Amino acid sequence: MAKFSQTFLQGLLQPSYQEGLFTAARQAAQLPAQLQQQKMQGTLQSGLFQLEQKAMAGTLTPEDYQKAVTAYGQVAQASPELAGEIRSSLSRVGTAVGAQKRATDQNKVKSEVANLRQAALAVQSNKQLEPEQKRQTLAKMKIEFNKIKEANPTVDFSSFEGMFEDVVVEAAQLDRIAKEAADEEAVNNFSNQLFQINNFESLETVTQSLLKANPEYAEDIQRLSQVRQASLENSQKRERARVERQFDITGDVDDIRKEIETLPEQASDLTATIERELATAEQLQNQYRNDTGWTNEPARRRAEEAIKKAESLIDRYRLDKVQSDSRELRSIDNQLSEVARRGPEIPSESEIMDTAEAMALQSGKNYDRLSVSQQSKFYDKAREELTSRNKSLYQRDISILERRRSSITGETVEEETETPEVAPIKGMDDYDGMVQQALSRNQDPASIVESLRAIGVPTKRLVALADKYKLPLFD
C-alpha cells in the first residue's frame, strides 16, 4: 500500500470530512471511469492506511471506528471493485480496536479491585473500628470482590487472590512500624533527659518521674538510668582521685583508655575522637605542669574539659547502645507476637497437590492416572508431611527469635536446645531421583514427562532431564 498524507486521517474522523467523502462518493459516478478509479483508490488507500496506523497505536476510539465504518461503507457502495480492500482493512482495524477495548475494560475492572483493596486496608488500619466491625466490613468486601469476578470471567484476577488476608497482614505491619517509631522517639527523649543530669539526686527524681508517667517503658527507663548512674559514679571517682594527685590527669587518661578498649570495632571513629581529646589533655599537662603542679591554671581547666569531653562521648555511646538494644528487643518481641498469633502455616491446596504428585512420581506412578483411593493416600501423606514441616519451621522461628533476645538481655532460654532442623520433604526437589525411580519401574517415558510438567518442574531443568534420560519432551 502506498504512503499517504496524515491530513486525510485527521479529517476522516471529522463529521464535516465524512460528509465531504460521501459527496465525493456520489459524484464519483459522474467522472470518467479511469479518473474516478485513480482518485478514489488514492484517497481510499491513504485513509485506510492511516486508519490502521491509528488503530495499531491504540488511539482510535470505538466511536471513531464506527464513524469510519459508515464512511467507508458509502465508498464501498459507490465503488464495488474497492469493497474487498475496504472490508479487509476495516477487519484489521476492528480487531485492533476490539483488543484495545478489551484491554481498557480489563484495566478498568482491575483498577476497581485495586481501589477495593485500598479501601480494605483503610478499614483494617482504622483505629476507631472494633475488631468485629473490621471483620464484618472485610466480609462484605469479599462478597463484592466475588461479584466483580463473576461479572468479568475473562479477566485474570490471580494477582488479587488472597488480597484480604494480605491486607490484614499489611495493616499489622504498618501498625508495628508506627509503634516502633513512636517507641524509638520516646526512648530517645528519655535518654536525652537523663544525659543532661549531672548529680545523683536529680537522676533519682527524674527517673521516678519518668517511670510514673511512662510505665510501659519501665524497662527502658531503668536501663538508661542505670547506665547514667554508672557514668556519674565513674566521673566522680576519677575527679576525687585527680584532686588527691594534685590534678595529675595521667590516671584519668589511663582509666578512660581502658574503657575504650572494650568498645567494638564498629566504634573506631568514636575511639579516634576520644583519643584526640586524651592526647590534648596529655599535651597540655606536659607543657604546663611540673613536679610541683600546674604552672598555668587556664591550661589545667582546658585539660580537665578534654577529659570530661572524652567521658561524655563514652556516656553518650553507652546510652545509645541501650537505645539500640531496646529497639532490637521491641522488634524481636513484635516478631514473636506475630509468629505466635499466626501459628504454623497451613499448607495450601495447590502445595498439597504438587507434593502429592511429586511423591507419586517418586514412587514411579502418575498421580493423574491413579484411582481416587490411591490419590487420596498420596494426598493425605503430602498434607501430613507439609503440616509437620510447617510446625518445625514455626518452632525454629520461635527458637531463633528467643535466642536473639537472650543474647541482648543475658537471660537464659528455658530448655535450651539446638535450633531444630527442618527436614526437606522427600521427593520434592530430587527430580533426578524421581526420573530414575520411574524408569526403574518401567514407567512410560511420555508419562514421566507429563508428571514432571504437572508438578511444575522449571522448563530449563525439564529440558536437561529429557536430554539426560532420553525422554520425549515433544510429541
Percentage of the chain exceeding pLDDT 90:
25
**Is the pLDDT reported for residue 94 higher than 60?**
yes
Q: What is the pLDDT of the chain when averaged over all its residues? A: 80
Burial 186-211 (b: 16+ CB within 10 A, else e): bbeebbebbbebeeeeebeebbeebe
pLDDT of residue 427: 46
pLDDT of residue 430: 65
- Domain extent listing, the chain: 1-143, 195-338, 349-407+419-469
pLDDT of residue 275: 94
Mention every residue, 6+ apart, whose C-beta is less than 8 A from residue 68. 12, 13, 51, 90, 93
Range from 219-228, 246-255, 332-341 carrying the lowest mean pLDDT: 332-341
**Is the pLDDT reported for residue 4 higher than 50?**
no
pLDDT of residue 41: 62
More confident residue, 90 or 9: 90
Residue 83 parent element (H or E): helix 83-125
CA atoms within 13 A on the CB side of 333: 11
Looking at residues 253-275, what average pLDDT do you find? 92
pLDDT of residue 299: 94
More confident residue, 454 or 200: 200
Looking at residues 72-91, what average pLDDT do you find? 75
Looking at residues 244-273, what average pLDDT do you find? 92
Contact 28, 38 (CB under 8 A): no
Q: Enumerate the β-bridge partners of residue 429.
A: none
Of the pLDDT bands very low, low, confident and very high (cuts 50, 70, 90), residue 31 is very low
pLDDT of residue 474: 57
- Rounded CA-CA distance 310/232 in Å is 13
- The predicted-structure confidence for 144-178, as pLDDT tens digits, reads as follows 888 888 888 887 888 887 888 788 778 877 887 88
Mention every residue, 6+ apart, whose C-beta is less than 8 A from residue 2. 42, 45, 46, 49
Radius of gyration of the chain (CA): 40
pTM: 0.53
**Is the pLDDT reported for residue 65 higher than 60?**
yes
More confident residue, 414 or 396: 396
pLDDT of residue 201: 92
Q: Enumerate the β-bridge partners of residue 290.
A: 293
Q: Which has the closest alpha carbon to 173: 243, 246, 121, 244?
A: 121
